[in-house]
A and B are shown apart, each in its own frame.
Chain A
Amino acid sequence: MSDKIKFLMEGKECTGKPGQSILQAADDNGVYIPRLCYHPDLKPGGSCRVCTVNVNGRNMAACTTPVADGMVILNETEELRDLRRALVEMLFIEGNHYCPFCEKSGNCELQALAYRLKIMAPRFPYMFPERKLDATHPAIFIDGNRCIQCGRCVRAAEEVDHKPILGFIGRGVAMRIKAGSSKGLAGVEIGPEDACVKVCPVGSIIVRETAYRTPIGKRTYDHQPIGSDIEARAPES
């Protein structure tokens, strides 16, 4: 078996390694596929579907589909762009995302993705759900209003921190993240250094009293759109 996989991405010849997902191979080739639930340190979740690409004519999640020889992949079609916009818009209307005062603003992947996808306003009506805050822990705070149910924290707790302290309750639109204790966060061992805290892409799991410490202008996405770091990896043609 060859150690190189050849595939076409947007008509460009690319190479990948066996065992890589389409998303990982695209990253190595400097092609940014939008994503939310994916995190490089975790097994793919495949839940948000924002990384959907067209593979040989079929739409598939780039984070869970292994890259294979001869694949013809499209990433930037109008149909895919609209699909991604719709998914991100649904995340916005399903929660209560007030970017103007959110402490994650400027560092938030959901917000950055909305900017990258040029979303001006969601096409769906806001649901304004009643979501709870878990403020019982001395160091960590969960704001359910901003959770997008990506599951990164649940996977990180299991795979990296090796303590399954977070999980989901409910189904569908009623699904919520919850600490695995009747006392909420107060009943679990969690701290600012835990991976499950650090991987939150939005302002849902936050470390107390660190808000707004980074001035505007120095935040992750203040000057470069999300994905710019991946695009910078593109080999010179």
Chain B
Amino acid sequence: MNEFVSRIRERNMKKLVIDPVTRVEGHGKVTIIMDDQGRVDRTRLHIVEFRGFERFIQGRPYWEAPVVVQRLCGICPVSHHLAAAKAMDLVVGVGPEELSPTAEKMRRLMHYGQMLQSHALHFFHLCSPDLLFGFDSPVLKRNVLAVAQEFPEIAKQGIFMRRFGQEIIRATAGKKIHGTGAIPGGINKHLETADRDAFRKDIEQMIEWAAAAVGLVKQVHGKNPTYFDNFGSFPSNHLSLVGKDGALDFYHGTLRAIDDQGHKIIDQVDYTDYLRHIGEEVRSWSYMKFPFLRKLGKKLGWYRVGPLARLNTCDFIPSPLAQKEFEQFRAYTNGKPNNFTLHYHWARMIEMLHSAEVIKQLLADKDLTAGELLRRGKKRGEGVGVVEAPRGTLIHHYKVNENDQIKMCNLIVSTTHNNEPMNQAVARVAGQYLDRQQITEGLLNHIEVGIRAYDPCLSCATHALGQMPLQVELENSRGEVIQRAERGSGA
């Protein structure tokens, strides 16, 4: 029996469990411990899945990594596909600036298509029921079918935008899920002109709908700004890639982290050097690690990633409509970082708009339909690839032996970065809404709303094997521990 459980028993506390957390990708659970006065004593978001990609990729040829490791996820496999491909570009001696224009632009198109579909999926399918019906609306109503019934136009736009993004992925990677487009040193195909023309026909509509989605978030916010702003909010650091010129860039850039006041903690960090700046802590009660900025240490160094963090760290958005929205977003907090948890939705929709605009720009580019696909340089034994996945910064790191076999793999996935923030959000929401309350299902959904804002992908985040602490306890009928087995829980 661990200390957490024994405290519950000693102090006659009540344990609330939300299992599974719904409308997120993957499987997690929340425990909330309340004392006999109904006060929230402690909360935890547990990730209860267990996977093993970092271990079983060892020994496989390096060129398989972009295709194998993307199977961590069915929602944003393109991010893993591209992060691994970028790492393997380095292994075959092709730096990020040395890719052919066709390869770089095809990968960008694939990635921005993914960003569009993933953000649409999250906002329309997973979150719109909360935002449109209310966090404590009847549980039977909190699903996309009810949205389709009461707001058919919104549901339709969500489905069509997701389809558009998925089609972009198919056209660039070969399949909507788990394609093979990006290969070490480049890409394996051009964009077919028939696909390009079909996308061109629909892209204006996508931009219009994406702009309307930003408007919808603002409208929801406008109904009760104080409530929306305060819900599960807390100050934090923020981390993301930013383009060379400080622009929002999902595909490539350098690492920048800022504190809750906007002061830069790290900037222009070459991501191949990530280990010098980011550490990972292991805690015994979760399969998900806790990353932190080494400069600030484990206690203060945690940070948020994802849409909110990206719009806090970047200087501008390089597309006109999204930039206009970005200016409003930044003005709302007087140019300071935005630390409001639910503003993730706002930031996410601005990013969706930006993705649609970038896709439009790319579709006008002739490099997509012709040009050199692959390049080769001098091989090396190590590669790091980083992209901004829909849920935040995604790091892939591999070492390869002289026979082309992978001997080391380290993945720090977006949701893993957000582990501590999500726990913070759960604690805040529990403190705000559950303290000394009669607990209802609707109130418990508030906790999930706090987690959902991050769009966590728990299956992505629990990819590791080998260093995860596993704890097994055998209890007798009186709840006393009679045997305990534990495996390594160090940092």
In the complex, A170 has a CB within 8 A of chain B: no
Most chain A beta-carbon contacts within 10 A, residue among B92, B180, B181:
B180
Q: How far is the CB of B272 from chain A (nearest CB, A)?
A: 22
**Do the beta carbons of A216 and B67 come within 8 Å of each other?**
no
| Complex CA distance for A141 and B59, rounded to whole angstroms | 12
Most chain B beta-carbon contacts within 10 A, residue among A211, A214, A217:
A211
**Do the beta carbons of B59 and A212 come within 8 Å of each other?**
no
| Complex CA distance for A213 and B63, rounded to whole angstroms | 11
**Do the beta carbons of A133 and B174 come within 8 Å of each other?**
no
In the complex, A232 has a CB within 8 A of chain B: no
**Do the beta carbons of B183 and A211 come within 8 Å of each other?**
yes
| Complex CA distance for A208 and B179, rounded to whole angstroms | 20
8 Å CB contacts to B: which residues of A192-219? 208-209, 211-218
**Do the beta carbons of B67 and A215 come within 8 Å of each other?**
no
| Complex CA distance for A212 and B61, rounded to whole angstroms | 13
| Complex CA distance for A141 and B403, rounded to whole angstroms | 9
**Do the beta carbons of A133 and B188 come within 8 Å of each other?**
no
In the complex, B404 has a CB within 8 A of chain A: yes
Residues of chain B within 8 A (CB-CB) of A218 are 189
Query: A133's contact among B181, B184, B405, by CB below 8 Å, is which?
Result: B405
Query: B68's contact among A101, A133, A209, A217, by CB below 8 Å, is which?
Result: A101
In the complex, B178 has a CB within 8 A of chain A: yes
B51-89 interface code vs A (CB 8 A; 1 in, 0 out):
000000001010110011001000000000000000000
In the complex, A181 has a CB within 8 A of chain B: no
Residues of chain A within 8 A (CB-CB) of B181 are 215
Q: How far is the CB of A167 from chain B (nearest CB, A)?
A: 22
Q: How far is the CB of B91 from chain A (nearest CB, A)?
A: 11
Residues of chain B within 8 A (CB-CB) of A100 are 71, 178
Residues of chain A within 8 A (CB-CB) of B184 are 209
The interface residues of chain A, by DSSP majority, are classed as loop
In the complex, A28 has a CB within 8 A of chain B: no
**Do the beta carbons of B174 and A216 come within 8 Å of each other?**
yes
Most chain A beta-carbon contacts within 10 A, residue among B67, B175, B178:
B67
Q: How far is the CB of B61 from chain A (nearest CB, A)?
A: 6
Residues of chain B within 8 A (CB-CB) of A217 are 174
**Do the beta carbons of A216 and B59 come within 8 Å of each other?**
no
Q: How far is the CB of A39 from chain B (nearest CB, A)?
A: 25
A65-106 interface code vs B (CB 8 A; 1 in, 0 out):
000000000000000000000000000000000001101000
Residues of B at under 8 Å CB distance from A?
59, 61, 63-64, 67-68, 71, 92, 173-175, 178-181, 183-184, 188-189, 374, 403-405
Which A-B residue pairs are the 8 nearest by beta carbons? A216-B174, A135-B403, A215-B189, A212-B180, A101-B68, A211-B63, A101-B67, A215-B188
18 contacts between A and B (CB under 8 A): A100-B71, A101-B71, A103-B67, A135-B405, A141-B61, A141-B404, A209-B92, A209-B404, A211-B63, A211-B64, A211-B183, A212-B180, A212-B183, A215-B181, A215-B188, A215-B189, A216-B174, A216-B179
Residues of A at under 8 Å CB distance from B?
100-101, 103, 133, 135-136, 141, 208-209, 211-218
